[in-house]
Amino acid sequence: MSNLTENNDHFYGYKRAPKNTKGNPGGNIDLEFESINPYEFKKGMYTELEKLGTTLRESDEDQREKATETVLKNLGEVAAYYSYMEHYETTTRNMDRKPSFKTFLKELEGHSMKEIGEKFTEDKMKEIKLKENIRAEVRNKINELFKTK
């Protein structure tokens, strides 16, 4: 039964002992794994193992351990690191002068979700005008038309 659950785990890769046991009742839950998206982790494992020249099925434990540590480091910096990397490679594939990946990530920061009161720095939309402002503008335009006649 345990072999079946190991094969159906969302986190494909090296199984390490939990490092952060603070606030961890049994001490057997890896809190770093709990805070990341399992699908992003899986995408990262495939990417990092491909860089090592192997696949998930053909890799040995050392390769999976190295890939897992790299994936956790990258996902700790940016939660959607591998999705952003995929987007970066797609959008810059035909460019002669590509921006660096770090620069690309900085450009994406302005487009993330924000709280209601905060403003977007790269917002291309105009401010929404209230009905009263629209009515006042229409009155001004009508008055201008009547004054010219």
CA distance 14 to 61: 7
Q: Which long-range contacts (CB under 8 A, 24 or more apart) does 26-32 make?
A: 32/72, 32/76
> Is 83's pLDDT higher than 80?
yes
Q: Provide the pLDDT for residue 10.
A: 47
Please report which helix (H) or strand (E) contains residue 88, including its range.
helix 81-91
User: What values do phi and psi take at 73, rounded to 5?
Assistant: -65, -45
Looking at residue 121, its pLDDT comes to: 62
Please, is 35 exposed, middle or buried when counting C-beta atoms within 10 Å of its C-beta (0-12, 13-18, 19+)?
exposed
Average pLDDT, rounded, for the chain = 77
pLDDT of residue 37: 86
Check residue 21 and give its pLDDT. 54
Give, as one character, the DSSP assignment of residue 11: S
What pLDDT sits at residue 95?
Answer: 86
Q: Tell me: the pLDDT tens digits for 5-62?
A: 444 454 555 566 656 556 555 566 666 677 788 899 999 999 999 999 998 888 888 8
How much of the chain, in percent, has pLDDT values that exceed 70? 66
Q: Determine how many CB atoms are found less than 10 A away from the CB of residue 98.
A: 14
Q: Do residues 69 and 85 lie in contact, with contact meaning Cβ atoms separated by under 8 Å?
A: no
Q: Is the pLDDT of residue 132 over 50?
A: yes
Cβ–Cβ under 8 Å, residues 78 and 105? yes
Residue 74: per-residue pLDDT: 92
- Say what the pLDDT of residue 3 is: 47
pLDDT at 38: 86
Separation CA 64–CA 95 (nearest Å): 33
